[in-house]
């Protein structure tokens, strides 16, 4: 099966542009050959009838007075047009000047009187002749008769056909070119709806449109409806999965609280080791429940539902809220965000992402936090730096993969960086930890660009 529809169309168009004119030319040649032969036979029959007028009755005796045919080629030596008369009784032969001294060997058959017969014969230099013959009797009993024959070189017929084919060759060439143009136009008409559907899909994928319906030609309406139904089913399943995960995480909270209370009772009874074991188990379950609850709240990129969100208002809103807390009154928030920088994320996901990273920076920073955005043709980077102690290089992978809590005295679950990474990866971005210029940790978020160039690349 041809994978490229465009290639298939051009292949069929090219084959049609070659085969159809060729078949037409062959058919035209066959029809014209038949026409030339029939018209030539009609002319030869007329010449044959004209020649029979050479029989004259004088004094009761029939004599032959050969008549010169109008076509001068009959007198031109070896011209290709010939006539010949044979007297059956005397075997005398009268021939045209074009035969010179050559005698055409007539078939040794019995000819009905006054009936025209058609034969193939051999002419001068072995040429193939189309020959018409007629036997004219002297009287009713037909004891004495003359055989009249007129012939033409078949090469002359072929020459006429070749000449007309040479003259009509440009017509068949133009026919092939016309078929190619028609194929190109038809291909454009066929590929147009497909290209329109492709652009519509790009718009849905980029979040500029919610669904394909009303965006594709009527011929693709069924496809659009089925695709939209698939998107709706995917959204519904994702929503149900998040709800189930959230319900499960919440349902674990009460049993875990009961276990912690039971651990306190066991410790009070003097079984400190058993109580510690229970607390470790509960702590692990709480960590897992908190992580699953946080992951359940990640919406992720949903086709047709994400929109462009400006970074500046979100970042200013979060930094403003964090700056009002008592623990961050002495922090300086250095926000350098371009108002034109936008990302295509679910707004709740973006708020969770920026909020968790800024809250993490707030917990570790000594006096200053810096937020910067940088844009290029392919991506937007968000840099969050603090002047805290940072994270050792060998611990950074662990901080991202397991949500390790490095200071038990600080509030929180230690899941901020891990959840942030999952959100970024869900949207095709990346999160990197490195040493910052302020002396602490630098978190670099890189998200796909949503600017004009990126959209154009998707649409094409």
| 360 belongs to a structural domain | yes
* Whether residues 269 and 317 fall in one domain: no
For residues 376-381, average pLDDT: 83
Residue 158's pLDDT band, with cuts at 50, 70 and 90, is: very high
pLDDT in the model for residue 32 = 94
3-class secondary structure, 277? helix
* Whether residues 292 and 310 fall in one domain: no
| 179 belongs to a structural domain | no
| 176 belongs to a structural domain | no
pLDDT in the model for residue 301 = 61
pLDDT in the model for residue 184 = 83
Residue 402 has pLDDT above 70, yes or no: no
pLDDT digit string (tens) for 290-304?
656 555 556 566 555
Distance CA 384, CA 431 (A): 11
Q: Which residue has the higher pLDDT, 460 or 99?
A: 99
pLDDT digit string (tens) for 209-230?
777 777 777 777 888 888 888 8
* Whether residues 327 and 235 fall in one domain: no
Residue 413's pLDDT band, with cuts at 50, 70 and 90, is: very low
Task: Return the structure tokens found at 420.
Answer: 């942030």
Q: Strand 55-58 vs strand 441-448: parallel, antiparallel, or unpaired?
A: unpaired
* Whether residues 151 and 232 fall in one domain: no
- Per mean pLDDT, which range of 34-48, 108-122, 318-332 is the poorest? 318-332
pLDDT in the model for residue 139 = 61
Quote the number of domains for the chain. 3
| 100 belongs to a structural domain | yes
pLDDT digit string (tens) for 66-88?
777 888 999 999 999 999 998 88
Range of the domain at 278: 207-297
* Whether residues 345 and 275 fall in one domain: no
pLDDT in the model for residue 60 = 57
* Whether residues 454 and 316 fall in one domain: yes
| 423 belongs to a structural domain | yes
CA contacts within 13 A on the Cβ side of 162: 6
For residues 329-350, average pLDDT: 84
- Round the average pLDDT of the chain to a whole number and report it: 80
For 302, other C-beta atoms within 10 Å of its C-beta total 15
Residue 40 has pLDDT above 90, yes or no: yes
Last residue of a domain, one of 96, 126, 159: 159
pLDDT in the model for residue 167 = 92
pLDDT in the model for residue 291 = 59
Distance CA 315, CA 323 (A): 12
Last residue of a domain, one of 159, 185, 215: 159
* Whether residues 51 and 141 fall in one domain: yes
* Whether residues 214 and 271 fall in one domain: yes
For residues 90-118, average pLDDT: 85
Distance CA 45, CA 51 (A): 10
| 420 belongs to a structural domain | yes
Share of the chain above pLDDT 70, in %: 81
* Whether residues 289 and 219 fall in one domain: yes
Task: Return the structure tokens found at 266.
Answer: 């066991």
Contacts 24+ apart (CB under 8 A), 315-321: 315/354, 315/358, 315/371, 318/351, 318/354, 318/355, 318/358, 319/358, 319/369, 319/371
| 40 belongs to a structural domain | yes
Q: Which residue has the higher pLDDT, 178 or 241?
A: 178
* Whether residues 287 and 332 fall in one domain: no
Residue 456 has pLDDT above 50, yes or no: no
For residues 152-163, average pLDDT: 94
Query: Strands across the sheet with 145-153, in order?
Result: 93-95, 81-87, 145-153, 128-137, 116-122
Q: How many residues does the chain have?
A: 460
pLDDT in the model for residue 282 = 75
* Whether residues 143 and 265 fall in one domain: no
| 214 belongs to a structural domain | yes
Distance CA 196, CA 185 (A): 16
- Per mean pLDDT, which range of 93-107, 243-257, 304-318, 402-416 is the poorest? 402-416
pLDDT in the model for residue 307 = 67
pLDDT digit string (tens) for 225-284?
888 888 788 778 777 776 777 677 667 767 777 777 777 878 788 888 887 888 778 776
Distance CA 391, CA 399 (A): 9
Contacts 24+ apart (CB under 8 A), 53-56: 54/85, 55/136, 55/146
Residue 141's pLDDT band, with cuts at 50, 70 and 90, is: low
Last residue of a domain, one of 297, 328, 357: 297
Indicate if the alpha-carbon torsion angle 268, 269, 271, 276 is positive or negative.
negative
* Whether residues 319 and 433 fall in one domain: yes
pLDDT digit string (tens) for 420-453?
888 888 788 888 888 888 889 999 988 876 544 3
């Amino acid at each position: 099966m041809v994978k490229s529809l465009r290639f298939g169309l051009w292949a069929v168009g090219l084959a049609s542009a070659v085969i159809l004119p060729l078949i037409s030319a062959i058919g035209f040649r066959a029809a014209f050959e038949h026409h030339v032969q029939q018209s030539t036979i009609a002319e030869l029959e007329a010449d044959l009838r004209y020649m029979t007028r050479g029989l004259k009755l004088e004094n009761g005796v029939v004599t032959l007075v050969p008549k010169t045919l109008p076509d001068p080629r009959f007198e031109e030596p070896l011209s290709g047009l010939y006539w010949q008369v044979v007297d059956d009784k005397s075997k005398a032969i009268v021939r045209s000047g074009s035969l010179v001294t050559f005698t055409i060997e007539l078939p040794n058959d019995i000819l009905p009187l006054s009936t025209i017969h058609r034969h193939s014969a051999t002419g001068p230099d072995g040429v193939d002749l189309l020959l018409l013959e007629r036997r004219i009797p002297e009287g009713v009993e037909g004891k004495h008769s003359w055989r009249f024959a007129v012939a033409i070189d078949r090469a002359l017929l072929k020459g006429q056909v070749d000449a007309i084919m040479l003259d009509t060759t440009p017509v068949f060439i133009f026919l092939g070119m016309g078929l190619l143009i028609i194929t190109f136009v038809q291909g454009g008409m066929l590929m147009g709806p497909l290209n329109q559907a492709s652009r519509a899909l790009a718009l849905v994928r980029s979040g500029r449109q919610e669904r394909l319906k009303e965006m594709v030609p009527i011929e693709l309406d069924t496809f659009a409806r089925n695709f939209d139904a698939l998107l709706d089913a995917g959204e519904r399943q994702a929503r149900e999965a998040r709800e189930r995960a959230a319900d499960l995480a919440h349902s674990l909270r009460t049993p875990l609280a009961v276990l912690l209370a039971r651990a306190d009772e066991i410790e009070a009874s003097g079984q400190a080791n058993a109580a510690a074991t229970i607390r470790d188990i509960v702590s692990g379950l709480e960590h897992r429940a908190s992580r699953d609850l946080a992951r359940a709240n990640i919406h992720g990129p949903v086709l047709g539902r994400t929109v462009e969100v400006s970074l500046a208002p979100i970042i200013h809103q979060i930094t403003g809220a964090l700056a009002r807390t008592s623990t961050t009154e002495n922090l300086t928030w250095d926000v350098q965000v371009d108002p034109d920088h936008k990302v295509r994320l679910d707004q709740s996901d973006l708020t969770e992402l920026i909020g968790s990273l800024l809250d993490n920076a707030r917990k570790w920073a000594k006096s200053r936090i810096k937020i910067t955005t940088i844009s290029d043709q392919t991506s937007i980077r968000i840099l969050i730096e603090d002047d805290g102690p940072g994270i050792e290089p060998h611990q950074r992978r662990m901080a991202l993969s397991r949500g390790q809590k490095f200071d038990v005295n600080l509030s929180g679950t230690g899941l901020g960086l891990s959840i942030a990474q999952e959100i970024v990866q869900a949207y095709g971005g990346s999160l990197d930890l490195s040493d910052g210029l302020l002396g602490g940790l630098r978190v670099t978020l890189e998200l796909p660009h949503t600017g004009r160039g990126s959209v154009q690349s998707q649409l094409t």
